[in-house]
Structure 1
């Protein structure tokens, strides 16, 4: 039996259509059983009209089951439409219509699928066909005019109801597909915007590298050139310039290590939980930054989704990066903790004289990195705040424990992977 009712995007749960189809087939089998019992009660050597009816319905049940199975394996298109129309025709020929009974669920479902696979007009024509078939069936058995009209109208109305169900199904399906397409376009736009922001961030980083390292390398070149020029007549002055060049080169190397560590922090891929945070902190200590980690309590003992763990990892990376690049910090303290309601991470860093002059008191304007953290935290029901408090900058992240296993990923315990 088919596993989904939707040609694209699965707009309804996968079990709905198979459940309806199985129910319809059971109803057909019950109708065949009714005819078989009635035929057995009448007796007789030769097959009667009831014998033909129950054998036809039983054969139709098997054939429709096979047809619906094939339909489920086809892509949306003309082939599906042909199979759905064939199912409706099989039902009409097998039972002759005109008798309200256990075959009605199969008729309604067949009409709905005709609308889904072909269109509303086809569904209305099929409903009219049911009414005509009912009239013909009652004429053949000699029913009076009133019975013919009433049964024909009843089948036509039921057929229209089935077509309406199919139209609603098709409309919901189409709306869901349109929504999925719109979400995909939005995602692509967001990806494009992210790439533009990243390109801007890379360009800004390149300018800063040029201004800082480029200036230091220029000084080194000037010192060495001067030492070479005055080496013979002023050896002590040349040695002093060489010492200056050596000091400047050492400063440039520290600056380069700082940038490399900030842009691509080292992390042990096997480290998890608090070990992962400690590993990130250790990688930044190679820049000359004094990083301490204090765990008031272990936040990773609670069940945590990969998104929540990744947020904590990114927050540590972003806090240390900003402390190096913007605050020119010398000391940073990372504190983790949890309560019954929240998991908390706080990163506190000091400021040098220039940063104290440029950074205002209170909340800081978020850059690309902080905006990304805020978006991740909001998705988990949490918050991110960066503020200057005196001579320090504090980056704090809070996630409610109710949001730790959300974001559509399986919850798990442990650290960032």
Structure 2
């Protein structure tokens, strides 16, 4: 039976892959702003412009180093502190610069504060830049009313633009949070599937113990009684003694065949990594070793469902294992046809086997044993159903399960998996 995939390190999320690109573009824009700000001619005020351009270039280097360090920080607190430092670094750009190529680095700095700390931190960062800009205008003009008015005119547009940064950070933060919730849900589902598998195996072990005791134990008891009788009769009636020895030999051969069947049934898949159609063929191949010819047909949609839904695939594999085991033990079958098809939102498994000499299968609906009854209950819990019945000279097991969104899967047939070319024709010993 296919094992659930092992838990691996999570792949980088979309924000983690996207942020380096956005950071690089923002830094390029800041460098372009610094270059474009260089004065073309010397004159009054040129020295101040040179200072601003050099400061912006130096800030671009410092911000680049901070953003390179950010992914290497282990704790959310340290990342939040680093993002706050970056906001302080971009403050001169916001206060002394002009709206243009400096906008991307401002937006991204505020967005990272929201992502690493909180939306409140992003609002505080935006207010800090706006209030500082107004204060500097008031100080430079000397007149409170004029400076305040001009400061508002210059700072409010910047704060509105930084609001986009808050929204961007909030979106990235919500995306990361949803990813963590999804990862936790997947982990819970994986543990639930593993628990279900363990319970299923426990039930199977209990059933196997009972049936081994009733079937194999009974045959071994008959062998022991026959040999005891032969030992007592060997002096008085040699013919009767040898008849009992022959009977013991026949019974022991039957017991050996039953033991081989149980070995195949209890460990059917040799490749634990097999999934989908490959897992079904692995189960079939192990039963072919008993001399049973098994033909498996799986379409592409069914294979997609089996490889994406671990709980459903576990139920299908268990149904196939149970059907093949019953075909051998009760139906004395020589060949089994197994088909799995998905259409109209339903996954349908159909297993049909012939009935060999000595088959103990009454006509009509089968009386469900432990295995079939457990499968029927699990299928019903998923909104499906299981039917097992004799139809003429064949026995049919049909499992139907609803599956979500089959429209994305391909509908072309896979053909026969492990068909005539790989069907066993003799009894492997």
Q: Shorter-chain-normalised TM-score: which range?
A: 0.7 to 0.9
Distance in 1 between residues matched to 2:190 and 2:280, nearest whole Å: 31
| 1:208-223 mapped onto 2 (5 Å cutoff) | 208-223=211-226
Go from structure 1 to structure 2 and tell me whether the alpha carbon gap of 1:253 and 1:358 turns closer, same or farther (over 3 Å shift).
farther
Report the secondary structure of 1:40's partner residue: coil
Which residue does the alignment assign to 1:127?
126
SS of 2:361's partner is: helix
1: CA distance, partners of 2:80 / 2:269: 58
After superposition, the Cα gap between the structure-2 partners of 1:112 and 1:97, relative to the gap in structure 1 and judged at 3 Å, is farther
Q: Structure 1 residues 370 and 263, CA, compared in 2 at 3 Å: closer, same or farther? A: farther
SS in 2 for 1:15: helix
Alpha carbons 2:229, 2:244 under 8 Å: kept: yes
> Which residue, 362, 374, 394 being the options, matches 1:356?
362
Give 1:332's match in structure 2, choosing from 330, 335, 355: 335
Shift of 1:84: 0.9
Task: Name whichever of 180-189 and 156-165 sits farther off.
Answer: 156-165
Pair 1:305–1:358, CA change in 2 (3 A)? closer
| Structure 1 counterpart of 2:260, from 257, 272, 286 | 257
Q: 1:8 deviation in Å?
A: 7.6
Paired position in structure 2 for 1:112: 111
SS of equivalent residue, structure 1 residue 356: coil
Q: Residues of 1 paired with 2:188 and 2:298: CA distance?
A: 37
Equivalent runs, 1:12-23 vs 2, <5 Å: 12-23=14-25
Q: Does 1:40 align with 2:44?
A: no
Cα offsets for 1:357-407 (capped at 9, x unmatched): 58449xxx95667899999xx9xxxx997653513223579998963599x
- What TM-score do the two structures reach when normalised by structure 2? 0.72
Shift of 1:58: 1.3
In structure 1, distance between residues paired with 2:69 and 2:28? 19
2:57 match: secondary structure: helix
Higher relative contact order (CA 8 A, sep 6+): 2
Aligned to 1:91: 90
Equivalent pairs counted in the alignment come to 389
- Alpha-carbon distance in 2 for matches of 1:330, 1:8: 47
Contact 2:230–2:242 (Cα < 8 Å) also in 1: yes
Per-residue CA deviations over 1:91-129 (Å, capped at 9, x if unaligned) read: 113553474332222112111111221223322221121
Q: Distance in 2 between matches of 1:113 and 1:316?
A: 53
Match of 2:4 in 1: none
- The residue matched to 1:354 in structure 2 has which SS? coil
* CA offset digits 1:49-100 (Å, max 9, x no partner): 1111111111111221121111123234222122211211111135534743
How high is the TM-score relative to the length of structure 1? 0.73
| Residue of structure 2 in register with 1:390 after alignment | 391
Deviation digits for residues 204-257 of structure 1, max 9, x if unmatched?
Answer: 012111110001111111122222233323333322222222221111111112
CA contact (8 A) 2:230 2:241 kept: yes
Separation (CA, whole Å) in 2 of partners of 1:275 and 1:121? 53
C-alpha separation between the residues in 2 aligned to 1:184 and 1:275? 25
Q: 2:427 matched to which residue of 1?
A: none
Root mean square deviation, CA, Å:
4.8
Counterpart residue number, 2:180:
177
Q: CA deviation at 1:13?
A: 4.9
Q: Cα–Cα, structure 1 residues 82 and 301, in superposed 2: closer, same or farther, change >3 Å? A: closer
Contact 1:11–1:177 at 8 Å: present in 2 too?
Answer: no
Q: Equivalent residues in 2 for 1:50-69 (5 A)?
A: 50-69=49-68
| Structure 1 unaligned blocks of 5 or more | 1-6, 407-411
Name the residue aligned to 1:162.
165
Is the Cα–Cα contact under 8 Å of residues 93 and 102 in structure 2 kept in the other structure?
no
Determine the structure 1 residue equivalent to 2:234: 231
Unaligned segments of structure 2, at least 5 residues? 1-8, 419-429
Counterpart position of 1:323: 327
- Residue 160 of structure 1 and its aligned partner are, at CA, apart by 4.4
**Is the contact made by 1:386 and 1:396 (CA closer than 8 Å) also made in structure 2?**
yes
2:27 corresponds in structure 1 to 25
Q: For residues 167 and 397 of structure 1, what CA distance do their matches in structure 2 show? A: 47
Q: Output the CA distance in 1 between the equivalents of 2:334 and 2:415.
A: 31
Q: Structure 1, residues 115-165: CA drift from partner, whole Å, max 9, x if none? A: 221223322221121012211332354364321122233334444443343
Q: Quick one: structure 1 residues 413 and 237, their matched pair in 2 at CA, closer, same or farther if it must change by over 3 Å?
A: closer
Secondary structure of the structure 2 residue equivalent to 1:393: strand
Give the direction of change, closer, same or farther, for the CA distance of 1:192–1:145 in structure 2 (3 Å limit): same
Report the 3-state secondary structure (helix = DSSP H, G, I; strand = E; otherwise coil) of the residue aligned with 1:171.
helix
Task: Tell me by how many angstroms 1:346 deviates.
Answer: 5.9
- d(CA) in 2 for partners of 1:17 and 1:405? 38
Q: Provide the rounded CA distance (Å) in 1 between the counterparts of 2:26 and 2:407.
A: 46
